[in-house]
Amino acid sequence: MSTLLSVRQQQPKKPDQTELEYEDMTLLKTFGQLYEKFQQKALTKDEEKEYEDVRGQVFARHMLAGGAMSESHADSDRKHLIGRVHRELRAEYGDESVTKKILIDRLASAYSMALSYERYFASMKYSLDANGRAKTNLFPPSIMKEMRMGIESSNDQIIRFVQALRDINRPPITVKTKNAFFAQNQQVNQGVPPRDLENDSFAKTEHATHS
């Protein structure tokens, strides 16, 4: 019997738990048990395979929830910055759904990409000579154009992802009307007085006359 199956038998799903919450809970407990045996070098061959699989699933959960993916792709001296941006975005918009998690990850990555393109563009545009004076670097126009397009594309993505997150967080607009005009017309055409005219004596008389 696998360790994961054993954990699930010992701790069945609670009524108030979602399937995903139960899966995460059992995976973390399984990983904890297998990791302890891993440190003691006491894993069997089957447990070694299970350990690698469970570790991968736990790591994937962490990357999605904690922003490790966008941080890992950032420039080495900006990893902490992107990690901070990711945490602040989660605090601002929430991360209770996978849609928000993905959008926040993409937004942090787009911001990281914009910073990288801008740094590269600046280094290509000019450099300092031995006397500390700026000198123009003569790079092919095609490369400079690609860098500018990269900056513009990253900034466009930032705007779109921010708008998408705002749209998700915006409460739905509901319009309530006592009686829809179209519905009233249907009732009149069928010879039935609209509900808001039921107490109108003239409407009752007209309805009785035409009935």
pLDDT in tens, 20-79: 899 999 999 999 999 999 999 999 999 999 999 999 999 988 888 888 888 888 999 999
pLDDT at 203: 47
Count of C-beta atoms within a 10 Å radius of residue 83: 18
In which band, very low, low, confident or very high, does the pLDDT at 210 lie, cut at 50, 70 and 90? Answer: low
pLDDT at 128: 66
In angstroms, rounded to a whole number, what is the distance separating the alpha carbons of residues 103 and 105? 5
What single letter denotes the amino acid at residue 28? Answer: L
pLDDT at 177: 64
In angstroms, rounded to a whole number, what is the distance separating the alpha carbons of residues 26 and 24? 6
Q: Does pLDDT of 120 surpass 60?
A: yes
Contacts 24+ apart (CB under 8 A), 59-64: 61/24, 61/27, 64/98, 64/101, 64/102, 64/105
- What is the tens place of the pLDDT at every residue in 4-17? 999 999 999 999 99
pLDDT at 1: 83
pLDDT at 127: 67
First-last CA distance in the chain: 78
Token pair 């309530």 is found at: 176
Cα-only R_g, the chain: 31
C-alpha torsion angle, residues 104, 110, 115, 116 (rounded to 10): 130
In which band, very low, low, confident or very high, does the pLDDT at 179 lie, cut at 50, 70 and 90? Answer: low
Would the pTM count as exceeding 0.85? no
The length of the chain is 211
- What is the tens place of the pLDDT at every residue in 132-177? 676 666 677 788 888 899 999 999 999 999 999 999 998 777 666 6
In which band, very low, low, confident or very high, does the pLDDT at 188 lie, cut at 50, 70 and 90? Answer: very low
Q: Does pLDDT of 198 surpass 50?
A: no
